[in-house]
Chain A
Amino acid sequence: MSAISPREAALSVRGLRKAFGGVPVYDGFSLDVKRGDILAIFGPNGCGKSTLINMAAGLLPADGGEILFDGRIVDEVRIGYVFQNYREALFPWRRAAENIRYPLRRMGLKRAEIERRLEALAADFRVRFDLNAYPYSLSGGQQQLVSIMRALAVEPEVLFLDEPFSALDYETTLSLRTLLQQVLKARKTTTILVSHDLEESIVLADRILMLTRRPTLVADDIAVDLAWPREAATLSAPDFIAIKARCLDVFTRAVAGA
């Protein structure tokens, strides 16, 4: 991986430290994420993938080190966050559209701008279901799509995705991730994806960060130079298979090396 200059970095992590009950998870961890890149984080269970993005998103305090977004702390930037459990992340007492408008209202945007963004998102994601429905009357895939739209509505500088498809069936996952990669690439949204699905990580990412067991270090940093858009055929392309083989090899060693 070529070095990322400070001016290119949307997110910089330096000397990050975090321990749970005295057991260090991160002990001097550093990372730069290039603006517009989709970074997938992959590693064994309990290596602290979600911990890392929760600290970056300001949901969990770090014990030490710094996490900066183009020189600013998280409170000073707009971020988006998509939770794994859409059922517990959406507000069921608000209609789907109202869920998406919520962060825009918090930003104090004018009504016309809020509606413009809502319509643009609905068009980008080719939404065909009724956004005036309550979330609980939508399917799982539709609910997670609403969560993603809500996170993207603020036009985040960095979007965090915490295993966004893990509660969905394979068919829904395929169509949702095809839509997602189109939108993220069109909007040039810097994205950090935590996933436990290697195929998904490779298909969606510009770069994969392979992590070791605790205390967590970078086992490998792999550029994914596959052409966009990535479709069903990508999954059987030789390049894809080569990257997957390399990732699997690193992963096996990272897990065994504990």
Chain B
Amino acid sequence: MKALLVPAGGAAGFIALWWLAVLLRLADPVLLPSPLETFNDTAKSFTQGPLLHDLWRTVTRTVLSFLVACAIGVPLGLLLGAKENVYRAVEFVVDFFRSTPASALFPLFLILFGVGEGTKIAVAAFGAALVILFNAAYGVMNARRTRLLAARVMGASPLRVVFDVMLWEAMPQILVGMRSGVSLALVIVVVAEMFIGSTDGLGQRVIVAQSLFESGLMYGVIFVAGALGYLLNLTFLLLEKRFIHWAGK
């Protein structure tokens, strides 16, 4: 209970400060609406407006690009990690594109995939796949040598060693990669929704609210996007804790 109360207190403090700033008129009310107004505008958009649909669209795009990223990143990462000299050869390219802001790739992906759903998902999947690949490869490369030898001595074929040992050894690191990957996918999807021919999604809703001076709604959508990112992160943390029960033991 106490574990919940303390963070709740922090959040309440944040809202109190916000309210105080509104009461003291520290900013123009058009730019800084009160928490209550923000809540009401957001709730109204959820029940009567497009916000629920927007949230659903953003979640679908993020999950879809995450799944594509996993389907590419995990097997490729395992393969490259198992062949360390091959990974060393492509490491620079992976690192380079991992460090490249995905938003800089929008124009390129627009040419490749056109203006539509495909582009948003492709860019987000590309960014997330590199993070997942990188983590999976390192997970395999850091696999305990003794365990690989133990499996070999017990008659496991090279392919068996990959699935029975390397995959499991890399699992904690793969989940770390997935957690970073899903967060990155959300970031890219929201930006893509703002700028790549969108009519829906949280990114689109933020930018429309801003241009229409609906600042209550704008703040609300930002918080919804924040809550989504937080929940995705939390889900993977819980998955790690539950599924990777042997980590660090």
Q: How far is the CB of A136 from chain B (nearest CB, A)?
A: 4
Find B249's partner among A88, A91, A106, A136 (CB 8 Å cutoff).
A136
Q: How far is the CB of A213 from chain B (nearest CB, A)?
A: 26
The interface-forming segment of B27-35, B86-94, B146-154, B226-234 is B146-154
Tell me the bound Cα distance from A106 to B161 in angstroms.
11
- Are A107 and B147 touching (Cβ within 8 A)? no
Contact of A93 with B by CB under 8 A = yes
- Are B153 and A106 touching (Cβ within 8 A)? no
Contact of B96 with A by CB under 8 A = no
Find B160's partner among A78, A91, A93, A106 (CB 8 Å cutoff).
A106
- Are A154 and B154 touching (Cβ within 8 A)? yes
> A91-B168, A136-B249 given as contacts; is B155 within 8 A of A103 (CB)?
yes
> A107-B155, A136-B246, A136-B249 given as contacts; is B149 within 8 A of A85 (CB)?
no
Hey, which chain B residues are within 8 Å of A148, CB to CB? none
**Interface of chain A: mostly helix, strand, loop or mixed:** loop
Contact of A57 with B by CB under 8 A = yes
Residues 79-99 of A contacting B (Cβ, < 8 Å): 79-81, 83, 85, 88-93
Q: How far is the CB of B221 from chain A (nearest CB, A)?
A: 41
Tell me the bound Cα distance from A79 to B147 in angstroms.
16
Hey, which chain B residues are within 8 Å of A29, CB to CB? none
Give A85's nearest chain B residue, CB to CB.
B146
- Are A91 and B146 touching (Cβ within 8 A)? no
Q: How far is the CB of A183 from chain B (nearest CB, A)?
A: 19
Find A88's partner among B144, B164, B245 (CB 8 Å cutoff).
B144
Give A153's nearest chain B residue, CB to CB.
B154
Hey, which chain B residues are within 8 Å of A57, CB to CB? 153
- Are A134 and B246 touching (Cβ within 8 A)? yes
Find B168's partner among A93, A106, A107, A134 (CB 8 Å cutoff).
A93
Tell me the bound Cα distance from A88 to B169 in angstroms.
11
Give A102's nearest chain B residue, CB to CB.
B154
Hey, which chain B residues are within 8 Å of A78, CB to CB? 155
Give A78's nearest chain B residue, CB to CB.
B155
Residues 54-97 of A contacting B (Cβ, < 8 Å): 57-59, 78-81, 83, 85, 88-93
Hey, which chain B residues are within 8 Å of A83, CB to CB? 146, 149-150
Contact of B79 with A by CB under 8 A = no
Q: How far is the CB of B142 from chain A (nearest CB, A)?
A: 12
Hey, which chain A residues are within 8 Å of B245, CB to CB? 93, 134
Hey, which chain B residues are within 8 Å of A92, CB to CB? 246, 249
Tell me the bound Cα distance from A89 to B93 in angstroms.
34
Q: How far is the CB of B146 from chain A (nearest CB, A)?
A: 4
Tell me the bound Cα distance from A229 to B125 in angstroms.
65
Residues 116-159 of B contacting A (Cβ, < 8 Å): 144, 146-147, 149-150, 152-156
Q: How far is the CB of A189 from chain B (nearest CB, A)?
A: 15
Tell me the bound Cα distance from A154 to B153 in angstroms.
11
Hey, which chain A residues are within 8 Å of B164, CB to CB? 91, 102
Give A92's nearest chain B residue, CB to CB.
B246
- Are B249 and A89 touching (Cβ within 8 A)? no
Tell me the bound Cα distance from A83 to B146 in angstroms.
8
Hey, which chain A residues are within 8 Å of B246, CB to CB? 92-93, 134, 136
Q: Which 5 A-B pairs have the closest CB atoms?
A: A92-B246, A103-B154, A136-B249, A88-B146, A106-B155
Interface residues of B (CB under 8 A from A): 144, 146-147, 149-150, 152-156, 160, 164-165, 168, 171, 245-246, 249
Interface residues of A (CB under 8 A from B): 57-59, 78-81, 83, 85, 88-93, 102-103, 106-107, 134, 136, 150, 154
Q: List 20 A-B contacts (CB under 8 A).
A: A57-B153, A58-B153, A78-B155, A81-B149, A81-B150, A88-B144, A88-B147, A89-B150, A91-B165, A91-B168, A92-B246, A93-B171, A102-B164, A106-B154, A106-B155, A106-B156, A134-B245, A134-B246, A136-B249, A154-B154
